[in-house]
Amino acid sequence: MTNPIADPLVEITDTDAESRLVDIDATLEGVATVTLNRAIRRNAFNAELIAALHEAFETLQGAEGVRVVFLRGAGSTFSAGADLDWMREAADRNEADNRDDAMLLARMLKSLWDIPALTVALVEGGAYGGGAGLAAACDMAVATADAKFSFSEVRLGLIAATISPYVVQAVGPREARALFATGKVFDAAYAEKVGLVSEVVADGAQLTEARDRIAQDMMACGPEAVAQSKKLVEDVAYRPVEDVMEETARRIARIRVSPEGQEGVRAFLEKRKPNWQI
């Protein structure tokens, strides 16, 4: 298909507020950055932002040439979680309406999870509730040292339900139970310790440096191999080795004879760069 993000900036617009809720910025090299653009509300979720993010992530799923996707928040906060006005509306809805509302968030997170390129959350300030869930749904997260995290739903008498699959994948069941049950605020160092964050940097300037380094690293990787590697982990995780031996052998055989696999091996043997490496 044609690349729907070929233009330098694709705007997904909140027509009621006449302001961009989400920006997608993409370079010709295939580095895409998705920015939550509700800085005045600390990038908190409402129905409109969730819908805009869902659309952005689905766009990136089908976009050709995307090698890495960064997710960040405008202003000084990654995401404060649920918007207060949105929470007030939810409190007045019945169970069926709340279920439909929650499914919008669940589908948005799954659309992020399903992006074939590497996804990286760049966390500054706070990542609370659903905001921390966004970071967990990315393949990796880099945070500034002063970033704060919390799964604070329990302190409102709620549970971290729709984000739970991604958080449990990131930190494991035992740590997830502790974080969900206490709702405590924790720092970037602790987030790195438990696996929610992959790397901690000193400040915003170093976060930009980390972004550029990761983007450069991804240029050396075969795009199809990246997508297949992500799928491989999902398919073999927590399964007995004997149950996946034949399938893993089939997968490596298939990719060895694929155009990308052939090009990568031949380039290595011929001491040249593969055709995807800029």
Domain residue spans of the chain: 22-220, 223-270
Residue 26 has pLDDT above 90, yes or no: yes
Confidence of residue 93 (pLDDT cuts 50, 70, 90): confident
| CA contacts within 13 A on the Cβ side of 157 | 2
pLDDT per position as a tens digit, 94-133? 899 889 888 999 999 999 999 999 999 999 999 999 999 9
Residue 153 has pLDDT above 60, yes or no: yes
How far is the first Cα of the chain from the last one, in angstroms, to the nearest whole number? 22
Give the predicted TM-score (pTM) of the model.
Answer: 0.91
Confidence of residue 72 (pLDDT cuts 50, 70, 90): very high
pLDDT per position as a tens digit, 179-207? 999 999 999 999 999 999 999 999 999 99
Least confident window among 83-92, 166-175, 243-252: 83-92
Report the chain's mean pLDDT, rounded to a whole number. Answer: 90
Angle at 54 between CA 165 and CA 100, to 5 degrees: 70
Alpha carbons 92 and 202: distance in angstroms, whole number = 42
Alpha carbons 124 and 78: distance in angstroms, whole number = 6
pLDDT of residue 62: 87
Q: Rounded to the nearest 10 degrees, how much is the dihedral formed by the CA atoms of 78, 83, 84, 90?
A: -150
Domain 22-220 is found in CATH 3.90.226.10: yes
pLDDT per position as a tens digit, 236-254? 999 999 999 999 999 999 9
> How large is the C-alpha radius of gyration of the chain?
19
Closest CA to 59 of 69, 48, 44, 47: 69
Question: Which of 55, 95, 153, 242 is labelled catalytic?
Answer: 153
263 counts as catalytic: no
